[in-house]
Structure 1
Amino acid sequence: MDILLIEDNKLISKSLVYTLKSKGHAVTLCENCEQTIVHAGEEFDLIIMDVTLPDGNGFELYRDVSRVNTAPVIFLTAMDDEDHIVGGLELGAADYITKPFSTRELLARIRRFDKKATGQSTVLSVGNIYVDTESHVVRNGDTPVELTALEYRILLMLMQNAGKVVTRERIMEKIWDIAGNFVNDNTLTVYIKRIRQKLNTDCIRTVKGIGYKMEAV
């Protein structure tokens, strides 16, 4: 797995990087919010994030990272009271581990998100449209579909919520363009049109006044 580790404690980060790499994972280490924002838009399978960082709060950082990255997040923190735990999970975090913790416990938690280890498929499909979340290859049947990074993120969001209506507001809140700017209402319409044209199918249905739904045709 490609893991983004956000931890400012050098003793903890050194130990975690060694352990994760010894288990075959690739690790990118960031020690603060500033470094994290630089790498946030890169492709990761999992993000491990300390809540207390020298230049900001991990909960606030999570909001920024989740707009440009769909990887699940595990929070690491010394704050073990219920309010902090519930707050992190309500933000959308996949898991929460309080310090001190054993490397055995952390590796067990990480294994839940390792699709290869758990035998889960990395391919999402709706009708004839296939998205491989590991290789980031998109296909219509056997035909490859070339999408920009932003188009891919929009399609992935719709595929992950196949059969459900995804509001325009939710898409615009979560998706940034390459310059770090939010996608606005007008440009979202343009991107959806381009994705439909490239997929050459009507699987993205407009729900008037609300948003879009990905469904088989």
Structure 2
Amino acid sequence: MTKILILEDDDFIRQQLAGILQEKGYLVVEAASVGQFNNIYEQEEAVIDVFLLDVYLPDGNGFDVCRKIREHGSQIIIFLTSCDDEDSIIKGLDCGGDDYVVKPFRVAELVSRIMANVRRISGGTDIYKDGTLTVDFKNKSIIHADKQICVSPTEFHVLEILINNKGLIVRRDTFFQKMWDRYGTFVEDNTLTVTVSRLKTKLGNREDGRAYIETIRGIGYRWKIN
């Protein structure tokens, strides 16, 4: 069972979120300060799967806590904070965060992002389905509304990275690293922009009119969860 630690100094938000996550079947540990976090972390580091971190805390900040976690492990880290400026989001991802959720947030969206991260760590499958869209990673084929969609190898690589991190923000430099390391494909900044734009056009929208890919200006892209 997935175990989540919530580091949040607002008692109402922390306790309400803990109750909802427990109802969803998660084990939850709470900390209202960095001091409380340190005490729990020293005892339960190895058994915590997901960390939900606020940024501004009475005795420290979530960025430093994130760095500490990253020094010892690769657990999932999601920032849950009212800091919605671009610099804070970039800083959170740079210091090791997997995702960044801005308050006020929808609980259903947060749970979906937690599940997406857990699936990413656990590994994916060869077939991905999202409504009328089917992606076969093994055979590198895409079917949308019963029609074959032709994409370039680079476009498929971008699509695969987005789907494997669905619901999460994938930074532009992450695309460069992953595509160079895994595929031996060099992608420049402008090339990535054009590639994503073409991919959006080819995929179109879901049946309800929502796009599959969301652009996070100045940061990267996200595959929106249906």
Q: TM-score, normalised by structure 2?
A: 0.50
CA separation in 1, counterparts of 2:81 and 2:96?
16
Q: Give the structure 2 partner of residue 103 of structure 1.
A: 107
Q: Give the structure 2 partner of residue 39 of structure 1.
A: 40
Q: Give the structure 2 partner of residue 146 of structure 1.
A: none
Q: CA deviation at 1:119?
A: 7.0
1:195-206 equivalence runs, <5 A? none
Contact 2:33 2:59 in 1 (8 A): yes
Which amino acid counterpart does residue 67 of structure 1 have in structure 2?
A: E
Equivalent of residue 95 in structure 2, options 91, 102, 125: 91
Contact 1:76 1:97 in 2 (8 A): yes
Q: Give the structure 2 partner of residue 65 of structure 1.
A: 69
Contact 1:6 1:29 in 2 (8 A): yes
More helix as a share of residues: 2
Q: CA deviation at 1:70?
A: 2.2
Q: Could you give the per-residue CA deviations for residues 2-26 of structure 1, whole angstroms, max 9, x where no partner exists?
A: 1111111011011101110000000
Structure 2: stretches of 5+ with no match in the other structure? 126-180, 182-226
CA separation in 2, counterparts of 1:50 and 1:104?
18
CA separation in 1, counterparts of 2:7 and 2:21?
13
Equivalent of residue 50 in structure 1, options 40, 50, 54: 54
CA separation in 1, counterparts of 2:35 and 2:8?
12
CA separation in 2, counterparts of 1:112 and 1:24?
16
Q: CA deviation at 1:65?
A: 2.3
**Number of positions where the alignment pairs a residue of Structure 1 with one of Structure 2:** 122
Contact 2:55 2:63 in 1 (8 A): yes
Q: Give the structure 1 partner of residue 81 of structure 2.
A: 77
| Percent of matched pairs sharing the same residue | 36
CA separation in 1, counterparts of 2:27 and 2:12?
19
Q: Could you give the per-residue CA deviations for residues 136-174 of structure 1, whole angstroms, max 9, x where no partner exists?
A: xxxxxxxxxxxxxxxxxxxxxxxxxxxx9xxxxxxxxxx
Q: Could you give the per-residue CA deviations for residues 32-70 of structure 1, whole angstroms, max 9, x where no partner exists?
A: 101111222242111111111111011112112222332
Which amino acid counterpart does residue 6 of structure 1 have in structure 2?
A: L
Structure 1: stretches of 5+ with no match in the other structure? 122-163, 165-217
CA separation in 2, counterparts of 1:19 and 1:36?
20
Show structure 1 runs of 4+ deviating over 6 A: none
CA separation in 2, counterparts of 1:30 and 1:97?
18
Which amino acid counterpart does residue 18 of structure 1 have in structure 2?
A: G
